[in-house]
Chain A
């Protein structure tokens, strides 16, 4: 009897999961498809400010520190093998392929994703979304779409910024402080970093993360139970789900992209 209950619970959970995924899919389709009006462009611009520009500080500061730490740790390991010339290549490859897309996405989920969920959730709780519908304006187009697109465009840009300042931070520590030969830092980097293989694949990763994180954030906001408890739970869910999704997808994407490069 107990077993039957458990199997039923498993089935119920699966159905619920599939239903949520279905709703999230339809939601994504309805809000992202369509040509924006002039007004729409401006709404997008405003969200670019809110989602992108406002996340710039935290992403750049983290990028510098990560680049510096990477350089310091890399140097202590490489110097044992007398291979500190490879420092630039190590810093650049770790940043471009892994750290910049992943860490920027995680920071983005915490900074912008949670804010998006809370904002849309609050609009739902105060019936602003309902009243927009009753005025005859589709909130998916007016509220959700600009945020979705702003997130999709912002995160790759932030990731690029993260890589650039990270490489600069690595340069500061490696070359200026630890005394690695400057020419080796850059030329080692240039000979091993491929624009399409490394920069390009890193960008593809961050585009995927951007879509997933923003999607989760706006969907959680739109779909939450409109109470203060519901908003706080949805905000937490946004950060948890998007972090897990980013880390999980990163493994999958890395296998697909760099698996055979080994």
Chain B
């Protein structure tokens, strides 16, 4: 069987391009290796309503991404949403105990993310602690409902 270098080269290039494409989809598109590539520590936060927050939503501090939501589950006792956060290990033992977590929306209808803002408590949060002060998601329907009922009352 005659072998053709050009053809072998073409197929090799094709396979290589496919693998590179997959790497691109992994890193650039689905953001693997973003934010939480290195060491992390875990915090919990309970919310009355998380709106559209999902696992892999980002967690920001002063607008900078510092981690992401690892898990969302329902607390069967209090019927609240318990959100597990994975944060950059550099922040472990640096966040004050009265740090607040709020569910925010980028843009009017954009993705929802979790924004942290720090307080002034000298004590700090350690791995596995729970953030006490939380602010639930803004749900558009509730806002509208409030607005409408206010209008009616007036």
Q: Which residues of A contact B (CB under 8 A)?
A: 39, 42, 45-46, 48-49, 52-53, 56, 81-86, 89, 92, 96, 154, 156-158, 160-161, 163-164, 167, 184, 186-195, 198-199
Contacts and interface: CB of A to CB of B under 8 A. Distances in A.
22 contacts: A42-B3, A49-B10, A52-B11, A53-B11, A56-B14, A83-B109, A85-B106, A86-B107, A86-B110, A96-B25, A160-B18, A160-B21, A161-B18, A188-B110, A191-B31, A191-B68, A191-B113, A192-B56, A193-B30, A193-B31, A195-B32, A199-B26
A83 B21 contact: no
A161 B30 CA distance: 15
B118 interface: no
Most A CB within 10 A of own CB, among B1, B28, B29: B29
B57 to A, nearest CB: 6
Give the dominant DSSP class at A's interface. Answer: helix
A157 B107 contact: no
B111 A164 contact: no
Contacts of A198: 30
A193 B24 CA distance: 13
Given A160-B18, A190-B34, A194-B56, A83 B107 contact: yes
A195 B26 contact: yes
A199 B108 contact: no
B58 A191 contact: yes
Contact of B1 (A42, A81, A96, A194): A42
Interface in B13-55: 14-15, 17-18, 21-22, 24-26, 28-32, 34, 54
Given A160-B21, A193-B30, A199-B30, 19 more contacts: A42-B1, A45-B7, A45-B8, A49-B11, A82-B109, A83-B107, A83-B108, A96-B25, A96-B29, A154-B14, A167-B29, A184-B110, A188-B111, A189-B31, A191-B56, A191-B57, A193-B29, A193-B31, A195-B30
A55 to B, nearest CB: 10
Most B CB within 10 A of own CB, among A82, A86, A161, A195: A195
Contacts of A161: 17-18, 21
A158 B22 CA distance: 11
Contacts of B106: 85, 184, 188
A31 to B, nearest CB: 20
B14 A48 contact: yes
Contacts of B110: 83, 85-86, 184, 188
A184 to B, nearest CB: 8
Given A45-B7, A199-B26, A52 B31 contact: no
Nearest to A199: B25
Contacts of B68: 191
Contact of A160 (B7, B25, B56, B58): B25
A160 B15 CA distance: 11
Nearest to A89: B111
A85 B107 contact: yes
Contact of A53 (B1, B3, B10): B10
B116 to A, nearest CB: 16
A167 to B, nearest CB: 6
Given A157-B14, A190-B34, A81 B21 contact: no
Contacts of B3: 42
